Chains A and B, each alone.
Chain A
């Protein structure tokens, strides 16, 4: 079994971080994982994306030409990845910041007001966790428990205080898709 996802948005939105969390959790479960960032001049203008693969078999390539899923944080990333998603793919997007609707009829679409939800939790910084939660509400490349484990690896020292609210943000994303 192989799960893969592209995560895309502006630098500073925690795009790379949730990709790393996912990969880390997969590694802790003994799975094969890769995480590949966009690199080089592509970063000029502030957009950033990463591709994550979690699989049982060794991973051929970390490059995703037809990703199974995409988590998108802004309009630019939506425009970029909507057309390349595999048939029947999953698209999770922050509907607080993206007003356009997808024109593809074959996708599983999650329009989640992630920034609004994050603000309710106290800070728009948690938007990335809400979106990740929504993704994990749909597919299960890794268990929520492993993700919680990864969180405590990334958030240490002073930041450890943020673990709980990050978990709540994740759960809010999961709850949103379960309610839908």
Chain B
């Protein structure tokens, strides 16, 4: 008699079985994986539409088996709004980098959050513009060297980093806003449960949801993947604390 085997890890059905183009140690892949698992687990594959940004995850649509669209830089929340309005029963999420969401697309994300319509945003905060070669982002920490802040970011010249989750949580529109980190197995598990709440906020029609994920960019940080994870814990988390900043009644 064949022994009964327990499946403990497998490729999600929503994953298109492709090799990603991400650099070794980049956490974009982890965030992708969590999305795919949740879409599977919540039975959303047939009604999901992913809205992909301009950034390293610009080819995100290649990696999933649900429908996807590609937005202009920063405009994913607006495009997601248009999609949601036409088919309110669909599950619509936008995936955005920090340059995409907090720089060029600040108007769109603020207004999507203020409108409060049930769409979900997964926001990858890696402290720089990965795609274009490591320029300063709105989330770049003070003192951090980037290719456009060669001597390190200073508040006098470059202003202060923006805490997107806290800022949007000030608005009345959002139903769920959290910041998580992808630096360790424990934190990745927590990230997944926050994302589940965010997805649920939409599925149950409660309102706008956003999960900010502290992420790594080993290539442009010029650190090894392990050092990058450590940097997230030591340098990034003190400025960008983890937690839930807004949880509307009914979100679980």
Interface residues of A (CB under 8 A from B): 41, 44-46
Contacts and interface: CB of A to CB of B under 8 A. Distances in A.
Interface in B13-38: 21-24
B110 to A, nearest CB: 29
Nearest to B23: A44
A45 B131 CA distance: 12
Contacts, number: 14
Interface in B125-144: 131
Contacts of B21: 41, 44-45
Interface of B: 21-24, 56, 58-59, 131, 219
B53 to A, nearest CB: 14
A41 B131 contact: yes
Given A41-B58, A45-B21, A46-B23, 11 more contacts: A41-B21, A41-B56, A41-B59, A41-B131, A44-B21, A44-B22, A44-B23, A44-B56, A44-B219, A45-B23, A46-B24
A42 to B, nearest CB: 10
A-B interface, 8 closest residue pairs, ranked by CB to CB distance from nearest: A44-B21, A44-B23, A45-B21, A41-B21, A44-B22, A45-B23, A41-B131, A46-B23
Nearest to B132: A40
Nearest to A46: B23
Contacts of A44: 21-23, 56, 219
A46 B23 CA distance: 7
A66 to B, nearest CB: 27
Contacts of A45: 21, 23
A44 B219 CA distance: 9
14 contacts: A41-B21, A41-B56, A41-B58, A41-B59, A41-B131, A44-B21, A44-B22, A44-B23, A44-B56, A44-B219, A45-B21, A45-B23, A46-B23, A46-B24
